[in-house]
Amino acid sequence: MSTPEDQPNAEEALARARAAREQMAAALDEDQEPEADEPVGWQPIWKRPRTPKSKTDKKKELREQRRRLQEAAKRRLTAGNSRRPRSRQSRIGNAAARRDARTLSRVRHSNAWLW
């Protein structure tokens, strides 16, 4: 617990703060936008001024983006179409072969061969 003797006087603190006002204002003003003729050092990307792109650059970027999206769509489509492992029904090609396989499996699963 601090005693009242340890605490600084409020008027003294106020006087110190008023004396340091210019110093604080200069420190806060440092981070603001630089003057137009002033050379700018390294800045993080979100602080850099935006440079407008030319029409050709913009179109080129959009072309690249469109191509990337189309390739991704193709990949998605082929991934959806390729079912692995494929079902047994799709492995047996035509209807006749399917019928034969069905008959064979019926015979195999019945006890017809016991007769």
- The tens digit of pLDDT for each residue in 41-92 reads 788 888 888 889 999 999 999 999 999 999 999 998 888 777 666 666 555 4
**Kindly report the CA angle at 39 between 37 and 43, in degrees rounded to 5?**
125
Please, what is the Cα angle at 78 between 74 and 79, to 5 degrees?
Answer: 115
State the burial class of residue 62 (Cβ atoms within 10 Å of its Cβ: 0-12, 13-18, 19+).
exposed
CA dihedral 80, 85, 89, 94 (to 10 degrees): 80
Give the Cα separation of 17 and 9 in Å (integer).
Answer: 13
The more confident residue out of 109 and 100 is: 100
Q: Residue 92: how many CB atoms within 10 A of its CB?
A: 15
Mean pLDDT within 9-23: 84
Q: What is the pTM of this model?
A: 0.33
Query: Higher pLDDT residue, 25 or 85?
Result: 25
Whole-number pLDDT of residue 102: 78
